[in-house]
Amino acid sequence: MTQPETKNTAGLNTGRLSRRQLMSLDACTRCGECQKWCPIYTLDSREDVTPRAKIKYLRDILRSSQPGFLGLFRPKTGPAVINKFIKSLYDCSCCNQCHFVCPVRLDTVELWENTREAVYESGQLPLANLETYCRTLKEYGNPQKKPQETRADWIETGLAKGTLLERPEFITDNLAPVLLFLGCNASFEENVSLVSQHAANILNEAGVQFGILGPDEDCCYGKLRRIGDPEFPEMACKNTDKLNNLGIETLVTACAGCYKTLNNDYPKLAKLNFRVYHLAEYLDLLHEQGRIRFDNPVPGKITYHDPCLLGRHNGIYEPPRRIIRAIPGLELVEMDRNRQYSNARHVFPGCQGELPRQGHPSGSATWLNWYPPQWA
């Protein structure tokens, strides 16, 4: 439940924050545990970028605008502090690592995303390209700025190369119970489209009756939510209506970003009439049911990187590992940091630099990850 709209010295609409979130600002003990684990602090060792600093800045901004008698005794926050806070707010990758190491388990990601909505509404985005990105995404239906008619071009490419064994049907033609929701990167990026082709091959091999949307598939618009665009609910509800009207029972996506948006964000806005699976979960289910088997040995060692949006945000750690272990000859070698302590690899759009990649464990030649934007 959000609060009535109120403005403060930063011009932020605190109505975007729930009472619980406002109370959580006082729960931070400033112990510094989040600083030790923050991947952005590893990249930019300023105190400003740490979760505890952002919480203090936000608390000070809100308290400096407290109405009535008590407000007279609060120091006013100036533009310098407000600008520091907003910059650090958008430097954050929302990897959710701080939540898992916080002694009181503060829900920082939800707090930052709601605060970003207030910042976006106030017209104080730290980078002009963020607003341009959102506008372009809504205009084209994808961040690549590609015509939607080309969203299924990966089919012809795969058939020509022999990497796609059978042409998938559009779900509007076959009314299948399972929708393979590919996402923008797996649809438009050539080096990621193999994900679409191999996913279709596996589902066909397993005898799954499925379809794709092709040109009718829109972006999940998760980046609008991450940036704070207040039009995200409208775009999400339009997508939900479209998907519900398909009559599907199951939606499967290979993108961890799409999965978080569809599985975590959409249900807060509207009821979904279908179950959302990540492809790793769905393949694990098909294997458990005996519908797919791994008979051919694949000798070698592989390491698996837990994406933030699939792991810490959704608790999906074991399905990918069960699939790897089920393949004869393949040995899983864990990274030193794995599962809820996995290194973040994704920086926020506009944040300068690149997060350091954790080295492969000794003897591991292959690195597996379920987040397509990291491959594109």
From first to last of its 376 residues, what are the pLDDT tens digits of the chain?
455 455 444 567 777 888 899 888 999 989 999 999 999 998 888 899 999 999 999 998 888 765 544 454 555 667 788 888 999 999 999 999 999 999 999 999 999 999 999 999 888 888 888 999 999 999 999 999 999 999 999 999 999 999 999 999 999 888 899 999 999 999 999 888 999 999 999 999 999 999 999 999 999 999 999 999 999 999 999 999 999 999 999 999 999 999 999 999 999 999 999 999 999 999 999 999 999 999 999 999 988 889 999 999 999 999 999 999 999 999 999 988 889 888 876 555 444 444 445 555 545 556 566 555 544 4
Phi, psi of 16 (to 5 degrees): -70, -15
101 & 161 share domain: no
Residue 132 has a pLDDT of: 92
245 & 334 share domain: no
270 & 159 share domain: yes
CA distance 180 to 206: 14
* 362 touches 336 (CB < 8 A): no
148 & 283 share domain: yes
Residue 350 has a pLDDT of: 44
161 & 277 share domain: yes
Would you say residue 293 lies in a domain?
Answer: no
148 & 284 share domain: yes
207 & 283 share domain: yes
18 & 104 share domain: yes
Which of 96, 106, 108, 93 is closest to 311 using CA atoms? 96
Would you say residue 7 lies in a domain?
Answer: no
Would you say residue 132 lies in a domain?
Answer: no
Would you say residue 5 lies in a domain?
Answer: no
CA distance 252 to 235: 20
Alpha carbon dihedral 299, 301, 306, 311, in 10-degree steps, equals 50
Would you say residue 329 lies in a domain?
Answer: yes
Token pair, residue 141, equals 């239906």
Q: How many domains does the chain have?
A: 3
Residue 191 has a pLDDT of: 84
Question: Which residue segment(s) compose the domain that 31 sits in?
Answer: 14-126
In sequence order, the 6+-apart residues with CB closer than 8 A to the CB of 279 are 199, 252, 253, 254, 370
Phi, psi of 24 (to 5 degrees): -65, -20
Residue 355 has a pLDDT of: 46
Residue 360 has a pLDDT of: 54
238 & 347 share domain: no
Q: Where among 126, 154, 183 does a domain terminate?
A: 126
Q: What is the pTM of this model?
A: 0.88
Task: Give the position of tokens 């003990």.
Answer: 29
* 183 touches 254 (CB < 8 A): yes
Would you say residue 336 lies in a domain?
Answer: yes
171 & 274 share domain: yes
* 322 touches 304 (CB < 8 A): no
Q: What is the CATH number of the domain that holds 31?
A: 1.10.1060.10
